[in-house]
Amino acid sequence: MDSKITEREQWTSRIGFILAAAGSAVGLGNLWGFAYRSSQGGGAAFVLLYVLIVLIVCLPVFVAEMALGRNAMKSALLAPVKLAGTNWYPLGILFFIAPLGIASYYSVIMGWTADTLFHSLFIGLPSNLTEAETFFSSISSGKSVLIGHLLSLLLSALIVSSGIKKGIEKVTKFFMPILFLIIVFLAIWATSLSGAWVGYKTFLFKFDFAELRNPQTIRNAFTQAFFSLSLGIGIMVTYASYLNKKSNLPKLSIGVASLDTLVGLMAGLITFPIILTFGLSDAISESTVGALFISIPTALGSYGVVGRIVAVAFFALAYIAAITSLVSLLEVPVSSIMDKYGFKRQKSVWLITFFLFLAGIPSALNINILGTFDSIFGGVLLIFGGFLVSFFMGWVVPGKFNEELNVSKVGIKTTRYLKFMTRWVAPPIIAFGLVISLFDLLNGWVN
């Protein structure tokens, strides 16, 4: 067992970690989740709540998750046990199950993305909403959805099977700069649209105070913050377990969270102008998971060649963003079974990939099942995980948390602030968000 600890891989550089973690964070959630959640009535109130949750709650949880991983130098499944004994094995199991649950449907949505990209490139875009809906039902059912799901899984599995440095770090270092370039290009292009200003207003300035008390808006803001930052389910535990002791955890977390939030906001500055220019705001807020795949292609379809080029750039961007996220979702269970059973990386990767293919079939064939998986695994479980992590580092093993902050020479004020936040501020606020989210979820099921 000891030999495995010394063999543990490490990121080659701090920037390697930042890009890999940002690669996990920036994903379909930024492009697709942000657009539909902010248009579900929340408007600017949703954006404000989201940013506040990131700053007040998610940043301390982020550091806590990283401290857990780096201190234990173990996979997410075994890290809590290493620090606090077998009573905390259930937390490891949550870290093992939640990424599997998310990955199973995430790759299905990636399949839709690839299909839309393919159509934009080679076939053409729908010219009206009805055509777009027919197009969406064709890519989200039958054989094509299963092929898209399988290919997306295989692609990510190949990257994960090459390991941390040669796989995940190399790929994210290559793709992340491209992704930032595309998004800047698209945001600049969106300013030229006739509905750009109305789009920005709807997204950022339509402030309705009542929305701050709307359970759906609160739930959306919590879910979006945790989902978008890939928090609460062991991803950052796993990625930080490959960090050296010198890296300053708070600085790294601020770097990753800033990149992710910037991309989320920029994505809003792209999707809202597009959708409002073409008068499709109802299409995006009414439908949920399918929003991007119906409204964006329709809008761009009426914009000629330029629209097609933009569609290719947009869906390529989404796919690149998604690969680097799916890779992180795979790495958690893969490293966990390597750690627990001593399996080789290759064997673990293919076992998990095969399992995920099967587990994703219900979501691939039924969009309602996909929605339910998203509400549970991509929603309440993440928030619950975030609560447990902050409670764990703040109350159960505060000495280890201290140790991790001291070892990387975090200043005394920052250390005090983080300890205070993980003990007294984050747990009650997350518990509040969790109760509201559960209430809103159950309410939706009953009605």
Residues that bind ligand PFF (CB under 6 A): 24-25, 27-30, 99, 102, 227-228, 230, 233, 235, 325, 328-329
Question: Left, alpha or beta for 409 (phi > 0: left; psi -120 to 50: alpha)?
Answer: left
What is the helix (H) or strand (E) element at residue 272, kind and residue range? Answer: helix 249-277
Report residue 348 CA to chain centroid gap. 23
- CA distance readout (Å), 288 to 34, 39, 76, 215, 424: 11, 10, 31, 17, 35
- CA distance readout (Å), 37 to 24, 151, 416: 20, 28, 34
Minimum distance from residue 395 beta carbon to ligand PFF (Å) = 23
- CA distance readout (Å), 96 to 158, 330, 332, 336: 20, 10, 7, 7
- Minimum CB distance to ligand PFF smaller for 28 or for 67: 28
- Minimum CB distance to ligand PFF smaller for 189 or for 227: 227
Minimum distance from residue 26 beta carbon to ligand PFF (Å) = 7
Minimum distance from residue 174 beta carbon to ligand PFF (Å) = 19
- Minimum CB distance to ligand PFF smaller for 20 or for 441: 20
Q: What distance in Å separates the CA atoms of residue 364 and residue 108, rounded to the nearest whole number? A: 6
- Minimum CB distance to ligand PFF smaller for 161 or for 325: 325
- CA distance readout (Å), 337 to 49, 93, 179: 37, 11, 31
- Minimum CB distance to ligand PFF smaller for 115 or for 331: 331
- Minimum CB distance to ligand PFF smaller for 24 or for 390: 24
Interacting residues of 132 by C-beta distance below 8 A, sequence separation 6+ = 126, 293, 294, 295, 297, 298, 301
Minimum distance from residue 287 beta carbon to ligand PFF (Å) = 18
Minimum distance from residue 444 beta carbon to ligand PFF (Å) = 21
* 73-104 b/e (C-beta count within 10 Å ≥ 16 → b): bbbbbbbbbbbbeeebeebbebbbbbbbbbbb
- Minimum CB distance to ligand PFF smaller for 237 or for 243: 237
- Minimum CB distance to ligand PFF smaller for 66 or for 276: 66
Minimum distance from residue 431 beta carbon to ligand PFF (Å) = 20
Minimum distance from residue 406 beta carbon to ligand PFF (Å) = 28
- The token pair at 421 is 């936040």
Asked if 16 and 169 touch (Cβ cutoff 8 Å), the reply is yes
Minimum distance from residue 227 beta carbon to ligand PFF (Å) = 5
